[in-house]
Each structure stands twice: as structure tokens, then as C-alpha cells.
């Protein structure tokens, strides 16, 4: 899978050399390319932004610069990519959306500053390729770079071969395998630590009992911190959600 990231802060994406994503890149499973938007800016100042029409605070990134960058990047491979644009005005990022993107051959992530990109850029791009705006949640970041890191990491671990044990992705919080619930707490050795013992049921070797225990803890935890997820589960499965 190929992922291009366009940003005015390419060094911000340095973590993509590390850990799971870094290893997957070196193994040839992921082709991640980071581009400096300023390479498409012109004039002595290489400006990428300007004041918004209609007034208001802050600056907007300009259409000519983003248009030139996206023309070049999106025409540099086979077929057309899916364009992802991080913005607090986007639809929330979910595991379902991430899983959909993981099946695509090519993604381009366009990082804007939070005041955003001239709206015509995405309108124009959408005439040639699928475009999705995506938000990390209901708070405001200074730019899309952190979201690009989030998207690349979340997508990468679903690409075949990237995770050592693919079953771990199936059991994750929010994945279908756990029915959209949060994961149960987990323990490893030592058996007792600072007077706290690992729950007996997890050492008993009865897999059906372990599964039941984990399911109950998942329901408890989800009810406590994410009742909205439980509501969604009941809407889909009714009372059978608690079987």
C-alpha cells in the first residue's frame, strides 16, 4: 500500500520511521512518502496562505499551491488515490472507516492548518478522485499532521503482514470481534504484584469461562466510559447484545 502525506512540516512526520510503521516500510509492505507543500509555492516568500474572503481571524491555505501539489502527487502512480483531509470539520475517524481505507492501494493525506484550505481545492479534487474529510474528535489541533500520523498508523496495522499476529487486530476495542465494545483489562506475570493477584478465572484454563469473564468486563467498562457504544450495540442487536 502507498500513502503520500503533503504538509508544510515534513519533519513532523518523522515518527513514521519508527516502530510498527517504520518496520513495515523497511519490509516493503508500506510505501510512505512525505512531501513538503512549500515545494509547490512560488515567489520569493514561498507563501502558502492568505487572508480569508469575508474577513475573520487567521489565514487560509491557497488553492493554487494545493492544486499544483495535488495534481503532481495524485498523478504520480497507477490509478487514482483516495484523498483524505484532516480537519475538525470532518466526519469522525472510526475503526470502520480505517478498515475500509486499509483495503485501498493508495491514499493521499493533505495536511492543512486548522483555519483550513480554500474550499475549491477539495471541490476540484473530488471531480477526479474520492475525497473524505476526517476529524480526530471534538477538540481543535493546530494542523492536520497529528491526524496524518494517526491515520497512517491505524491503517498500517490492518495491512496484511504488518502485524505479527493478525488475530490481535480482530480482538481490538471497536473491532467487529468484540462487538464494538471496549476491551477487557489484561494481565501478565507476575501472578501477584504489590498485593494484587491476577483474577483467578484467567488462570483456570477454562476458555469458555474466560470468554464470559472478558465479555462481562467489556460490557462493564463500556457502560462506564462509553455508554454511546453500548447504545449502538443495542440498536443493532437488541437484548441479544448481552448474551
Q: Which is nearer to ligand 6GU, 102 or 147 (CB)?
A: 147
Which of 5, 25, 34, 143 is the binder for ligand 6GU (CB under 6 A)? Answer: 143
| Nearest residue to ligand 6GU, by Cβ distance, number only | 86
Which of 44, 140, 186, 235 is the binder for ligand 6GU (CB under 6 A)? Answer: 140
Residues 61-90 that bind ligand 6GU (CB under 6 A): 86-88
Which of 43, 139, 189, 205 is the binder for ligand 6GU (CB under 6 A)? Answer: 139
- Per-residue HEC secondary structure of the chain comes to CEEEEEECCHHHHHHHHCHHHHHHHHCCCCEEEEEEHHHHCCCCCCCCEECCCCCCCCCEECHHHHHHHHHHHHCCCCCCCEEEEEEEEEEECCHHHHHHHHCCCEEEEECCECCCECHHHHHHHCCCCCEEEEECCCCCCCECHHHHHHHHHHHHCCCCCCCCCCHHHHCCCCCHHHCCCCCCCCCCCCCEECCEECCHHHHCCCHHHHHHHHHHHHHHHHHHHCHHHHHHHHHHHHHHHHC
Residue 136 touching ligand 6GU (CB under 6 A): yes
- 157 in catalytic set: yes
- 115 in catalytic set: yes
CB-count burial class (<10 Å; 0-12, 13-18, 19+) for 183 = middle
* Binding segment (CB under 6 A) for ligand 6GU, from list 17-25, 56-64, 140-148, 154-162: 140-148
Residue 53 touching ligand 6GU (CB under 6 A): no
Residue 60 touching ligand 6GU (CB under 6 A): no
Q: Which is nearer to ligand 6GU, 86 or 180 (CB)?
A: 86
Residue 108 touching ligand 6GU (CB under 6 A): no
Which of 22, 77, 114, 183 is the binder for ligand 6GU (CB under 6 A)? Answer: 114
CB of 87 to ligand 6GU, least distance (A): 5
CB of 47 to ligand 6GU, least distance (A): 20
Q: Is the dihedral of CA 14, 20, 24, 27 positive or negative?
A: positive
Residue ranges that bind ligand 6GU, judged by CB under 6 A = 86-88, 114, 134-137, 139-141, 143-144, 147
- Tell me which residues are annotated as active site: 88, 115, 157, 172
Amino acid at each position: 500500500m502507498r500513502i503520500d502525506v503533503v504538509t508544510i512540516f515534513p519533519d513532523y512526520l518523522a515518527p513514521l520511521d519508527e516502530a510498527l510503521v517504520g518496520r513495515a516500510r523497511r519490509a516493503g509492505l508500506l510505501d510512505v512518502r512525505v512531501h513538503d507543500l512549500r515545494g509547490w509555492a512560488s515567489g520569493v516568500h514561498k507563501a502558502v496562505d492568505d487572508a480569508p474572503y469575508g474577513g475573520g481571524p487567521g489565514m487560509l491555505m491557497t488553492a493554487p499551491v494545493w492544486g499544483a501539489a495535488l495534481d503532481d502527487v495524485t498523478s504520480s502512480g497507477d490509478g487514482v488515490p483516495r484523498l483524505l483531509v484532516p480537519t475538525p470539520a470532518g466526519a469522525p475517524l472510526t475503526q470502520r472507516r480505517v478498515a475500509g481505507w486499509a483495503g485501498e492501494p493508495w491514499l493521499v493525506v493533505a495536511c492543512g492548518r486548522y483555519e483550513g484550505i480554500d474550499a475549491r481545492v477539495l471541490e476540484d479534487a473530488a471531480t477526479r478522485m474520492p475525497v473524505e474529510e476526517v476529524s480526530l474528535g471534538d477538540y481543535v489541533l493546530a494542523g492536520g499532521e497529528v491526524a496524518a500520523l494517526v491515520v497512517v498508523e491505524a491503517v498500517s496495522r490492518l495491512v496484511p503482514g504488518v502485524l505479527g499476529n493478525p488475530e490481535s487486530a480482530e480482538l481490538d476495542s471497536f473491532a467487529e470481534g468484540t462487538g464494538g465494545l471496549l476491551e477487557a483489562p489484561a494481565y501478565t506475570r507476575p501472578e501477584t504484584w504489590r498485593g494484587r493477584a491476577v483474577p483467578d478465572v484467567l488462570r483456570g484454563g477454562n476458555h469458555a469461562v474466560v470468554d464470559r469473564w472478558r465479555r462481562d468486563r467489556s460490557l462493564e467498562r463500556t457502560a462506564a466510559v462509553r455508554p454511546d457504544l453500548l447504545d449502538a450495540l443495542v440498536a443493532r442487536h437488541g437484548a441479544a447484545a448481552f448474551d
